[in-house]
Structure formats: structure tokens, C-alpha cells
Structure 1
């Protein structure tokens, strides 16, 4: 029987450091909720707003697949694999396999505009791998009422997607008002954590609005019926 968990936007953890306003779907940094440690292999989903010219100084990561999706503004990234700052803009997606360890920095590349982004951490299926970086642009029109795949595992034969060390799928869709869409899971052992980026929609008899989320597992598919124009983010991961 299908399992569902509902995470309302206002129930997320939060941190306001002045330069950083962050919302945490799962326990992170100073926010801890024993009921929100992870969803299968999905460990972190942060919704960050970073003030102009501010950001995260050099810090380490290891054995985590890190995915960043800028929504507005410009992200500048530098890591121990690259000496130069690299820009990541809306429409682009960045992946980083931390593997056996790396250092990186992330800052808002604009002196005037806020940077808004999602950061996703997925636990890998291989540890101590060689660190690697990837970045790609995905056209907004390619997710207009159809599924756009952004990130998959190396075993997935989708040649357009960025690759990580986990049998996960990160995808997006922008649906018009009063549209129906069926999401089909690639494996019934997986679950899908669906975040409503914007809009109002009904998923399996639950009405969800901006930044609400639903986690569905033990299912082969689920149905979405939009009430307004809606943007959705899907994170399909193995359940442990």
C-alpha cells in the first residue's frame, strides 16, 4: 500500500543569519527533527536565499552527492578540483561528488541581487570515489507539461542528464492549470520526494501549495492534478 508523508512549507526548519535565509526540509546544521532525518537516500533539501556578495567560505565535504539548482541570481563556485571561480546560473544544474574528500566555496556572484537556490544532498552508493564536478544547462521549455530529467545515476542510460553515484533521478516539470500528470517510478523499491516549487496542485488527494512537499513510497506511480500553473521538483531515491 502506498505510503505518504506530508511536509508543509511552514513546518520546515529555518535559519536566518542575515546574509543567509535558509529553509531545511530535513535536519541540518542547528535544526534537528528526529522525524525528518532523511527520505531514503535523500539527506538534505535546503531552500536558500543568499544576500549579495555573501556566501559560504571554503569548507570540506566527503562521501555525498551534492546537487545545486539556482532559481535566480548567479552562483559562483570554486573547489579543490578547480582554481577558478565558476558561474552557475538559473537554468543550469551543478553536481559535485565529494567522494574521498574535497574543499569548496560558494558565494553570491552579484553585488546587488539576491541568490536563490535549492541544494540537495543524496547519500552515495559508493564511498571514497574520486571527487568529480559536473554542470549543464536545461531549457525551461523542455519541461513545459513534460518531465525533464536533470540528474541520474551512472547505471541510467539517459545521456542528457548529469550523473551521480546513486540510482536516483532528479527531475522537474512545469504544468499548466487544470493539467493531469502521472509520475511513474523507475523502481518500486524507490520513493519520490516531490516539492511544489510554486503553484497549487493535488497529489493523491492532498492539496499542496508553494514549497509544500510530499514523499511517496511503496507505489509504482502517482497522479498529479494542478489547480493553478505549477512547477514541481521530483527527487526519486532508493528507500532504505
Structure 2
């Protein structure tokens, strides 16, 4: 079974400095039919104007992934981490027993566009952790590259959940058959491009929930990027 989450049906937030589209219920946007997909709880497509951002705020017992699509995002937290996350980098913050952090657009002239992803952990109140890594684009060329996994497999970032995240960059005309475990759930999020997933068209911002499938065929009609979540 494959269910498409149309990009135009996502819940909007417009705070002036922040424009966000929510794949699942978040903040003032609430849809009882869109409360997440397995432990995948949040996919927020955020755009922040120059020199603005999220003031210091707390999190606990959530696995938080930030993936920058364009621009640069500055991060500071109560563990003493301070970094800039740029396009193609993956940041994973395990909030655990509690952490405070802030996120700001690092530029005074360019918008930052990023995804903020929340995954519910399978254990609570562990010490907070911070991880950040740039993965080689060649490893994502016309294939999926694992970037997050529970055991830090193949140099991926470690998450406290039986969940994996892979990223693929596909050139126009590329076809790929993706093998799946029918006992698991998968969520595909299109960050750019134009694809066909199991015969269903997908554009930037579209999501697909996949269950009970042995494989799916992916066709890139344009140069495209896809995030693929493997979930219990």
C-alpha cells in the first residue's frame, strides 16, 4: 500500500520571519489524520529570512534531525555545541533528558531552507547527544546513502530508535528499483525534482507512506533528491 501526502495539503505557518509547511500536525496546525507515521512525528519544511531564527528553547526525549536544503543554519545548545550547518549536512540532536538550543539563519542576506524532522525515541531520559556530518555527494549519486541508523552503520549518525534515514540524488532519466522489507514502514519525502514512485507522480514537498511492499520502482523525470525513512 502506498499513500501520497500531497505537498499542497500540508499545514502552513507564517510568522513573517518563518514560513513553514508541516507534513504532520505541529503547533497550531492539527489534523487528527496526520499525526505522524510510525515513530516519524514531524517533517517541517522551514524557510527563515536572513538574520532571524528560533530563540533558545527546550526539548526532551525526541530525536531531532535538521537537513539544510539551501543556505546556512547556525546552532547553539546547552551542551556547549556551536556550529553552522550547510547544504547537504545532516545534524542529529538526541534531546534525551533535556536540552536547550537555538537555531538562526547564518546569513544577513540569504534565506535558509531546511527540514526539521522529529522521530520519537525508543528510550527516554538518556544523556543528550549531538552529531553532525557531511556525507560525500558521490555516495548519494543515483543511489540511497544511509545517513542515520540505530547502530551508526556505515558511518551514519546514531539515533535512539529502530529507524534509518537515507538520502539519494537522482539524475533525470534514472530508474531504480528499491528493495523493501514488507514487515516495515517507509516514508519517502521529495526535497526537489520530479519523480514517479510506484507509478505515482511526486514533486518537491510530496510525501509517500509505503507499507507491505517488497519493492518500489523510482523514476526520476528531472534531477531529484529524496529522503527515505525506514521505520518499525
2:192 equivalent to 1:195: no
Displacement of 1:91: 2.2
2:44 corresponds in structure 1 to: 46
What CA deviation, in whole Å up to 9, does each residue of 1:55-109 have, x standing for no partner?
1111111110000001111111111111x53111112110000111111111111
- TM-score, structure 1 normalization: 0.93
How far apart, in 1, do the equivalents of 2:178 and 2:121 lie?
A: 24
1:109 corresponds in structure 2 to: 106
Q: 3-state SS of the aligned residue for 2:8?
A: helix
1:142 paired residue among 124, 139, 142:
139
Q: 3-state SS of the aligned residue for 2:154?
A: coil
Q: CA RMSD in A?
A: 1.3
What CA deviation, in whole Å up to 9, does each residue of 1:169-218 have, x standing for no partner?
11111112222112223x43321111111222111121112211111012
Q: 3-state SS of the aligned residue for 1:159?
A: helix
How far apart, in 2, do the equivalents of 1:71 and 1:175 lie?
A: 15
Instruction: State the number of aligned residues.
Output: 232
How far apart, in 1, do the equivalents of 2:182 and 2:125 lie?
A: 28
Runs of 4+ in structure 1 deviating by more than 6 angstroms, as ranges, are: none
1:166 corresponds in structure 2 to: 161
What CA deviation, in whole Å up to 9, does each residue of 1:131-186 have, x standing for no partner?
000000112222111211111112x6x2310011011111111112222112223x
How far apart, in 1, do the equivalents of 2:73 and 2:195 lie?
A: 30
Q: Specify every segment of 5 or more residues in structure 1 that has no aligned partner in the other structure, as ranges.
A: none
How far apart, in 2, do the equivalents of 1:16 and 1:33 lie?
A: 18
Structural mapping, 1:33-182, within 5 Å: 33-82=31-80, 85-154=82-151, 158-182=153-177
